[in-house]
Chain A
Amino acid sequence: MKLMITAKGDKLESTVDERYGRGECFIIYDTDSGEFEAIRNPFLNNQGGVGVSTAQFSVEKKVDAIISGSYGPNALEILRAAQLELYKAQPGTVKENIELFKEGKLERF
């Protein structure tokens, strides 16, 4: 399954970014292969509409679940319509959150 985690850097050791739409980096992690891809948030410096753009991005990347701190109202509408699983990240690294997810210990948003 494909996970998307918002992070403050491009590594699995990077800290999770609390913000979804304006998260600094997106980590796309494949739970089956353990491989990941890091993408700098291309919408970060847009004046507005970043929640919607990031949600669109998540849908296009065909991720199954997202781990982030909080989701804004405009992003939520799209993510819920696309039926993506949303999780509330715990303070810590991307890796720690992936582990918590695998153990079923992350709370659904």
Chain B
Amino acid sequence: MSKELVIISGKGGTGKTTLTSSLAYVMKDKIIVDADADAANMYILTSPKLKHKELFKGNPKAVIDVNKCVNCDLCRKLCRFDAIHINPDGNYYVDEVKCDSCELCKIACPAEAITMKEVYSGEWYESETPFGLMVHAKLYPGAENSGNLVTMVKHRAHVISEEQDIPYILVDGSPGIGCPVISTISGANFVVVVSEPTPAGLHDLERVKRLCDSFKVKSGVVVNKYDLNEEKTRQIEEFAKKEGMEVLGRIPFDECVPKAIVNLQIPYEACESVKRAVDEIYARVMEKL
């Protein structure tokens, strides 16, 4: 069984991609999973060569059969998502982007004019990158990442890792603590939380720690841009120690990082300060895995 290393942040914009892409650069014998389909930065930074593509389904959406519809207006009134409208011809229709798949309209319709239709919400891929195989996804406009999609890409990575005997899976998770993040942490061997020295950075670290605790998964923290507020950095590290998290390292603020990303370079490759920090973090993480 390969071991799964998950990188999450709780808060967006803390530098999760800086760390994940840099770890992807140094880590050997792994498959990369980009589970952050809402912001698939690993795709942009690793310029992958697509090898295999499949469609995936989202939640089914309501459709109204205008031939059966009796124009009672019940569905439009009941819909909590304002997804049902009347077109200029006087026919009722569902706005697929707004439809939340709750099926209330289908249940309520006295004429049985509403059915649920399967829809594709995006594509997932297996790709070749300079840093190893990657499993990732692309969402269609209006579609959003989900626990189902995360489970699917992670599952695919496990299948490949068993076939090819690859010992590690590196997962780039999404921000927050919602459904996709829950699916990302489920089954992880170790979770790295990237934080930043701000009140929001600490607050979101606390929330994400509670989530890891629920799964009883061990976790550690990396403070990115630590030198922007060393007092806050100390607070974050104290919180981590108190809560039994590993303090894995600090990455300094460096203008080189955004410049590197703009030029599609991995920060590890382009910035000496990141390289030094990530080498240390990598060594500590591998001890924990």
Contacts and interface: CB of A to CB of B under 8 A. Distances in A.
Partners in one complex: yes
Interface in B244-285: none
Q: Place the interface of chain A in its size category.
A: 20 to 34
Given A22-B183, A51-B182, A71 B147 contact: no
Interface string A3-35: 000000000000000111110000000000000
Interface stretch (B10-18, B106-114, B208-216): B208-216
Contacts of A70: 186-187, 215-217
Q: Place the interface of chain B in its size category.
A: 20 to 34
B148 A18 contact: no
Question: For chain A, what secondary structure do more than half of its interface residues adopt (helix, strand, loop), or is it mixed?
Answer: loop
B198 interface: no
Interface string B140-155: 0000001111010000
Contacts of A71: 214-215
- Residue among B1, B149, B186 with max Cβ neighbours from chain A (10 Å): B186
B187 A72 contact: no
A108 to B, nearest CB: 11
Interface stretch (A42-50, A56-64, A95-103): A42-50
Given A70-B216, A71-B214, A48 B146 contact: yes
Nearest to A22: B151
B241 interface: no
Interface of A: 18-22, 45-51, 69-74, 76, 88, 91, 109
Interface of B: 1, 57-59, 101, 146-149, 151, 179, 182-183, 186-187, 210-211, 214-217
